Amino acid sequence: MQAYAQRAAPSSDHDVELWTVTGLLHDADYERFPDMDDAEQGHPRTIMAELERRDAPPEMVRAIASHADYLGVEPESPMERTLVAVDELSGFLVACAQVRPEGIHGLTPKSVKKKLKQPSFAAAVSREDVRGGADRIEVDFDEHVAFVIAALEAQADELDLHGRSAA
């Protein structure tokens, strides 16, 4: 989210901090409230309520709602569409990096596409969401994958994505 916000700035009015924090917080309640059928507290309702309580920007709360398709809030703004575009893909790329000795380094769109075709690999990740994400932000699929790989690689220390070679 930070990388995509920075890519467009300063020619756009994208708020880099808003995009970054929205990305960081969008799943903040997931571990405690994973039950999406819990209409009161289920992810992401708890984090949305908490952010509202803290007077977080309404755009942040709406974006978090829009990444959960079962809440019926269609992703519309660039930030909302980008969140949906990078969410499942980021998880998938981390899964790819975790099975490579080199981690995220040297990961290519070509090898990612190969993994996407293996239904058993990171089976929880929706292929439809990953494929549809690039269209949502009108970026070529390979370009989108390469961009998110580069963004994750830039944070490889924090995300522990250097692979076994770093151990």
* Residues that bind Fe ion in the complex, under the rule CB under 5 A: 27
Q: How far is CA 138 from CA 32, 39, 81, 131, in A?
A: 34, 33, 10, 12
CB of 68 to Fe ion, least distance (A): 6
CB of 44 to Fe ion, least distance (A): 6
Listed residue (34, 166, 48, 38) closest to 104, CA to CA: 166
The CA dihedral of 94, 96, 98, 102, to the nearest 10 degrees, is: -110
Using the minimum distance from each CB to Fe ion, give the nearer residue, 15 or 27.
27
Name the residue whose CB lies closest to Fe ion: 27
CB of 128 to Fe ion, least distance (A): 16
Using the minimum distance from each CB to Fe ion, give the nearer residue, 126 or 146.
126
Listed residue (108, 102, 93, 104) closest to 142, CA to CA: 108
Using the minimum distance from each CB to Fe ion, give the nearer residue, 42 or 163.
42
Length of the chain measured in residues: 167
CB of 61 to Fe ion, least distance (A): 14
| CB-side neighbour CA atoms (13 Å) of 143 | 7
Using the minimum distance from each CB to Fe ion, give the nearer residue, 86 or 107.
86
d(CA 46, CA 40): 8
Using the minimum distance from each CB to Fe ion, give the nearer residue, 27 or 102.
27
CB of 164 to Fe ion, least distance (A): 29
